[in-house]
Structure 1
Amino acid sequence: MLKLFNDFQRDPVLLRKFEVVAKCYSASCVFADSQYRQGVMDSEIKPAFPARIVGQAVTVQLSPGDLVDPLRAIEMSAEGDVIVVDAGGDRQTSVCGGLMGGLARNRGIRGMIIDGAGRDVDELQVIGWPIWTRTITPRGTHTMYSGRKDELSINVAIQCGGVTVNPGDFVIADTIGVTVVPLDRAETVLEAAHEQAEREQKTRERVAQGKTLEDLLEEFGRL
């Protein structure tokens, strides 16, 4: 595997705008709807415990059959980042646990999305550092025995949960699932998501007032 270690330009102002909009109900759904249902990861990828995060993606490409702990990604990440790992969908080997989560939390990294497995979710829940995975397993990588931790590439285009993720893309992950917004479309999608979140809140208020389906369709044209 060709090892590449790249970085990307972060946009804290734009990230803050995403954070504000993502305070709405069902944020992953709102951002999915706002890009015509695109960017949604496989529904198997779920949080180990209820959580919601928003951040820019630090991408990690692991080698199938030779998975290592992506410790180098923690070293290369910054506050506000979300680490997104292509572990080839491996359900038998965890690539993230409690100790790694503690190190990541200390750097302000918000969580990890893994097309694969994780472990130590009891510890991760206590420290409040969430992971989204296909499954949970006790089996870790060989890194703790071999000492190897560089068999990976960082900040390259990857596939995670059937979605192409590029470095710096925005990730919205909650209890429902994971949605990715490409960096080059971030402003447009953000505007659409803001409009949808506001419309849904107004609709929610009308429902609480006892309005009927016909009333809602007349006012909003949709649910």
Structure 2
Amino acid sequence: MTHTLPVQQAPELPYTQADPDQLGTLYKFLRVVDVVDAMDGIGYFNIGLMNHDVRPLWRGMKFFGEAATLRCVPSNKPMWKLTSTEDVVAAHRLWFEKYPAERLPNDLTPGHVVVMDSGGGPEVGFWGSENAMGTIVGGAVGIITDGYARDTGELEAQGTPVVARRRGRTIIPGRIEAVEAQTQIACGGTQVNPGDVVGADDDGVVVVPREVAVEVATHARAVLLSDMRARKRHYDKLGRPGDASTDVEAVEAWYANV
């Protein structure tokens, strides 16, 4: 199968260099493995490692940002039978008019990552191609759930950065309810708090507690640069031109003021 190149672009963030007041910018070039190495280095062994089955829906996805959290539970109220095509199309609106859902604040800083605790609910495509894209347009750089996502072919074609445990088919009404926002949650076997730094790439997902996020970023940057320089020497010996993964100068320029 030919991979469709991602087309969705997150809103342009107003940063040209790392800014210690915006934790996500400290992680711009970092890989999940750099961050995990740094957490090991400060004694945070096996902390922040989400389960392997919570993974990006498409290859090449990469993002880091401060967590905005949403907690869900299985619904104990059934969806009623709909009697017209118009109502079937409007099922979500009708459900939420009767049972309003908790929502994330509208004033979240651009560059955040939405992290959702699905509450161990049934198969339900809480995140689909439209609402996930709208979340990115609203300033998120990624979405992580230990539940399901649907419309996954469109999510990949759009390049919408969604990390999920499963691919699903069903819709929300009668199956799952969002009950709390911006609260401590569990996602993929890991504690996540609002403002923690969360990142994902092809190797998986890591959560960095906010209180050590600056320290971890400092160590992880050194790990990354050491690896880039070593790989650049291998490239040179092979006569291979450099690429973004060996562009040491770009990384050093980004972190020049921190």
What TM bracket, shorter-length normalisation? 0.7 to 0.9
Over the aligned positions, Cα root-mean-square deviation in angstroms equals: 2.8
Residue aligning to 1:176: 203
Moved more, 33-42 or 157-166: 33-42
Map of 2:186 onto structure 1: 159
d(CA) in 2 for partners of 1:79, 1:12: 13
Q: Is the contact between residue 56 and residue 171 of structure 1 (CA under 8 Å) also seen in structure 2? A: yes
Q: 1:185 maps to what in 2?
A: 212
Q: 2:224 aligns with which of 174, 189, 197?
A: 197
Return the letter of the residue paired with 1:193. Answer: A
Counterpart-to-counterpart distance in 2, 1:193 and 1:181: 12
Cα shift readout 1:31-70 (whole Å, capped 9, x = no counterpart)? 1111014311000011111211111100111113459997
The count of aligned residue pairs is 192
- Identify the residue that residue 66 of structure 2 maps to in structure 1: 56
Matched residues in 1 for 2:134 and 2:33: separation? 30
Q: Secondary structure at the match of 2:226?
A: helix
Q: Is the 8 A contact 1:94 1:138 kept in 2?
A: yes
> For the residues of structure 2 that align with 1:171 and 1:184, how far apart are their CA atoms?
13
Distance 1:101 1:169, change over 3 A: same
1:102 deviation in Å? 2.2
**C-alpha separation in 2, matches of 1:60 and 1:188:** 26
Change (3 A) 1:76 1:64: farther
Task: Return closer, same or farther for 1:100/1:71 CA change in 2, 3 Å cut-off.
Answer: farther
Contact 1:96 1:119 in 2 (8 A): yes
SS at match of 2:58: coil
Secondary structure of 1:59's counterpart equals strand
| 1:63-107 CA-partner distances (Å, limit 9, x unpaired) | 134599977227454411110000034461221111101211221
Match in the other structure for 1:215? none
Large movers: runs of 4+ above 6 Å: 67-71
Q: Does the CA-based 8 Å contact 1:91-1:135 persist in structure 2?
A: no
User: Residues 1-223 of structure 1 correspond to what in structure 2 (within 5 A)?
Assistant: 13-19=22-28, 21-22=29-30, 27-36=31-40, 37-50=46-59, 51-65=61-75, 72-73=103-104, 75=106, 77-90=108-121, 92-142=123-173, 151-208=178-235
**Identity across matched positions, percent:** 27
Structure 1 residue ranges without an equivalent (≥5): 1-10, 211-223
Go from structure 1 to structure 2 and tell me whether the alpha carbon gap of 1:203 and 1:77 turns closer, same or farther (over 3 Å shift).
same
Give the superposition deviation at 1:14.
2.9
Checking the alignment, whether the CA contact within 8 Å between 2:26 and 2:214 is kept in structure 1 is no
Partner of 2:43: none
Which residue type is aligned with residue 125 of structure 1? E
- CA shift in 2, pair 1:127/1:200, >3 Å: same
- 3-state SS, counterpart of residue 72 of structure 1: coil
Structure 2's unaligned 5+ residue stretches are 1-19, 41-45, 78-94, 238-258
State the TM-score, normalized to the length of structure 2: 0.66
Stretch of structure 1 that moved more, 79-88 or 33-42: 33-42
Deviations 1:6-44 (A, max 9, x none): xxxxx753322221x32xxxx111111110143110000
